[in-house]
Amino acid sequence: MFTLIVIGFAFVGVGAVLVLVGHPIGIFDVMIEAVGYTIARLVLPLVSFGRVHVQPLSSAQKNFNVLGYRSDGTGHIEIECTVAGFIGFLIFLIGFFTLGLLIQAFI
């Protein structure tokens, strides 16, 4: 199980470094945009009781703050697509490793 955790963190670390230095790899981008965005779009409104929403992919609005958030007058918070993808991917990784630990505990 320890090997699975190390491989997962190594994958995420290498992908993050490559993205930061300007050499994005295709699979990491797909994971962030597809899996992360979808999970964030489903989980964040549930966890926040409807106060946090994710920006639709088709939206052309760009007036977010530096952290990728903005709020409207009604108290709702909207998160930018890219930031939501990273949040969702982090939720995915935590769930994946938690599931792995639970499976390991029962074997």
Condensed to tens digits (0 to 9), the pLDDT of residues 50-66 reads: 999 998 888 777 788 88
Structure tokens at 91: 């939720």
- pLDDT, tens digit, 9 for 90 and up, residues 25-58: 566 777 677 888 889 999 999 999 999 999 888 8
Cα–Cα distance for residue pair 24/97, rounded to 1 Å: 24
Distances (CA, A) of 63 to 15, 44, 46, 70, 73: 28, 20, 25, 8, 14
- Provide the pLDDT for residue 12: 60
Q: What are the extents of the domains in the chain? A: 31-106
Residue with the bigger pLDDT between 105 and 17: it is 105
Pairing of strands 52-54, 77-79: parallel
Average pLDDT of the chain to the nearest whole number:
79
For residue 82, how far is the Cα from the chain centroid?
8
Cα–Cα distance for residue pair 54/46, rounded to 1 Å: 12
